[in-house]
């Protein structure tokens, strides 16, 4: 939960401007004619405007605004932000509250908060780009009681969220076969021979590794996990060389990161060891949820690299010398090409990801 002191401002709405013009014309007529009735009507209108402005300000006075959001999200995927409003006034309610986030035209509405009352609402947000981004500003406005003035509380708390690439579904037939000209990487499902651990069955596991006695005793399918062989070690080699020069290039750039994230999550959830290599980053082989977070965190913050960088970065450390390598590139002109010293081709996102 993040909170900060919001800034308050008051704006005159169109209807309020009309009232000001009417009051000015009546006062002008009173000055020209000397009629007391004009002075009385003009004074009443000005009093009406003053009361409207005061009540709008009091409605938001001592209104606490805070919000909480996930630490990490995926780009272009909606997520919920919880907004908490607390009326800390002792006697006066907060009335007719409109809550809006960023540049959105739609808003949420809270009719009334009595003294000491609080309310929690959910706002749906979408962040379109990878990286570490601050949440959009949040505004709470009230036009109570007559809609002549609009009093606004604006919250810019600087709360940041890490935006990961999108994780999309993959075409298994592309992942699990290697055609004659080496266009796609072969992903083997074989295990080693040494016992490693016991775990619960997941879709895709070999039923020959089920421990029937333990499964019958606890009522769940339990798998004997064997020590992974090198065929279950995969290095994602992500070539980020290239400078964006168009909107289409940026879209392709992000698609390559989506593919890298989707492959990493898919392989790690099927108990592979996965590493990541790029011109400016290296992550050794690992498995499980911690490795998933490390890869997604790295992919969220990667930027394009200088095209002049050579091919030396593709050579990973000795722990992955026998691991399978999957080649990816952010530059669409490299898709389908055979990298230096590789026997497979760079994956094309559209051929591997659905949608």
Check residue 190 and give its pLDDT: 47
Distance CA 310, CA 306 (A): 10
**Are 150 and 20 contained in the same domain?**
yes
Q: State yes or no: pLDDT of 123 exceeds 70.
A: yes
Check residue 67 and give its pLDDT: 92
Check residue 186 and give its pLDDT: 47
Quick check: is 216 in a domain?
A: no
Q: Is the dihedral of CA 266, 267, 271, 275 positive or negative?
A: negative
Task: Detail the DSSP E strand segments found in 71-148.
Answer: 72-74, 79-87, 94-101, 108-113, 118-125, 131-134, 138-142
Check residue 228 and give its pLDDT: 52
Digit-coded pLDDT (tens) for 8-21: 889 999 988 998 89
The closest alpha carbon to 258, from 241, 236, 243, 275, belongs to 236
Check residue 204 and give its pLDDT: 65
**Are 15 and 132 contained in the same domain?**
yes
Quick check: is 218 in a domain?
A: no
Contact 250, 130 (CB under 8 A): no
Q: State yes or no: pLDDT of 138 exceeds 50.
A: yes
Check residue 72 and give its pLDDT: 94
Check residue 319 and give its pLDDT: 60
Contact 186, 342 (CB under 8 A): no
Q: Which domain holds residue 114?
A: 2-164
C-alpha angle 218-221-226 in degrees, rounded to nearest 5: 110
Residue 175 or residue 72, greater confidence: 72
For the chain, the domain total comes to: 2
Q: State yes or no: pLDDT of 308 exceeds 80.
A: no
Quick check: is 235 in a domain?
A: yes
Using CA atoms, how far residue 212 sits from 183, 208, 215, 224, in Å, is 40, 10, 5, 10
Quick check: is 61 in a domain?
A: yes
Q: State yes or no: pLDDT of 70 exceeds 90.
A: yes
Quick check: is 82 in a domain?
A: yes
Give the whole-number percent of the chain exceeding pLDDT 90: 37
**Are 251 and 137 contained in the same domain?**
no
Per-residue pLDDT averaged across 122-140, rounded? 92
Per-residue pLDDT averaged across 267-287, rounded? 89
Check residue 7 and give its pLDDT: 83
Looking up residue 316, the CATH number of its domain turns out to be 3.40.50
Side by side, the strands of the sheet bearing 72-74 are 72-74, 160-164, 131-134
SS3 per-residue string spanning 276-297: EEECCEEEEEECHHHHHHHHHH
**Are 150 and 246 contained in the same domain?**
no
Domain boundary among 164, 181, 203: 164
Digit-coded pLDDT (tens) for 166-224: 999 887 665 554 333 444 444 444 445 555 677 788 776 777 778 888 888 888 888 87
Quick check: is 50 in a domain?
A: yes
**Are 176 and 158 contained in the same domain?**
no
Least confident of 58-67, 104-113, 172-181, 333-342: 172-181
Looking up residue 61, the CATH number of its domain turns out to be 2.60.40.10
Check residue 194 and give its pLDDT: 54
C-alpha angle 304-310-314 in degrees, rounded to nearest 5: 85
Distance of CA 179 to the CA centre of its chain: 37
Per-residue pLDDT averaged across 113-139, rounded? 92
Under DSSP, the state recorded for 210 is B
Please report which confidence band the pLDDT of residue 59 belongs to, taking 50, 70 and 90 as the band edges: very high
Least confident of 79-93, 165-179, 278-292, 320-334: 165-179
Check residue 317 and give its pLDDT: 57
Distance CA 269, CA 292 (A): 9
Contact 110, 118 (CB under 8 A): no
Distance CA 333, CA 94 (A): 58
H helix intervals, 121-246? 172-175, 212-218
Per-residue pLDDT averaged across 120-149, rounded? 91
Check residue 230 and give its pLDDT: 46
**Are 158 and 288 contained in the same domain?**
no
Residue 107 or residue 292, greater confidence: 292
Please report which confidence band the pLDDT of residue 31 belongs to, taking 50, 70 and 90 as the band edges: confident
**Are 127 and 184 contained in the same domain?**
no
Instruction: Give the Cβ contact number of residue 190 at 10 Å.
Output: 11
Q: State yes or no: pLDDT of 298 exceeds 70.
A: yes
Contact 69, 79 (CB under 8 A): yes
Distance CA 235, CA 274 (A): 6
**Are 98 and 176 contained in the same domain?**
no
Using CA atoms, how far residue 175 sits from 283, 326, 339, in Å, is 22, 10, 18
To the nearest whole number, what is the mean pLDDT of the chain?
83
């Amino acid at each position: 939960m993040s909170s900060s002191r919001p800034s308050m401002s008051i704006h005159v709405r169109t209807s309020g401007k009309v009232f000001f013009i009417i009051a000015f014309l009546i006062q002008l007529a009173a000055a020209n004619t000397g009629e007391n009735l004009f002075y009385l009507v003009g004074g009443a209108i000005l009093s009406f405007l003053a009361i409207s402005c005061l009540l709008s300000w009091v409605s938001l006075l001592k209104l606490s605004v805070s919000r909480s959001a996930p630490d990490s999200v995926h780009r272009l995927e909606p997520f919920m932000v919880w907004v908490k409003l607390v009326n800390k006034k002792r006697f006066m309610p907060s009335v007719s509250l409109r809550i809006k986030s960023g540049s959105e035209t739609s808003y949420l509405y809270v009719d009334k908060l009595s003294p000491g009352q609080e309310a929690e609402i959910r706002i749906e947000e979408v962040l379109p780009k990878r990286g570490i981004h601050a949440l959009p500003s949040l505004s709470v406005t009230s036009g109570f009681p007559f809609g002549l003035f609009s009093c606004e509380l604006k919250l810019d708390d600087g709360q940041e969220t890490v935006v990961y690439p999108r994780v999309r579904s993959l075409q298994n037939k592309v992942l699990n076969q290697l055609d004659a000209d080496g266009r796609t990487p072969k992903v083997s499902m074989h295990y080693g021979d040494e016992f490693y651990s016991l775990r619960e069955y997941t879709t895709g596991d070999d039923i020959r590794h089920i421990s029937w006695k333990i499964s019958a005793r606890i009522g769940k399918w339990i798998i004997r996990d064997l020590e992974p062989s090198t065929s279950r070690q995969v290095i994602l080699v992500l070539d980020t060389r290239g400078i964006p020069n168009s909107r289409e290039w940026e879209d392709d750039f992000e698609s390559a990161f989506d593919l890298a994230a989707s492959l990493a999550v898919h392989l790690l959830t099927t108990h592979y060891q996965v590493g990541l290599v790029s011109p400016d980053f290296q992550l050794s082989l690992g498995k499980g949820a911690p490795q998933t977070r490390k890869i997604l965190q790295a992919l969220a913050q990667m930027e394009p690299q200088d095209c002049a960088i050579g091919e030396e970065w593709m050579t990973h450390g000795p722990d992955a010398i026998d691991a399978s390598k999957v080649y990816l590139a952010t530059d669409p002109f490299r898709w389908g090409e055979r990298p230096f010293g590789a026997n497979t081709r760079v994956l094309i996102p559209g051929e591997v990801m659905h949608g």
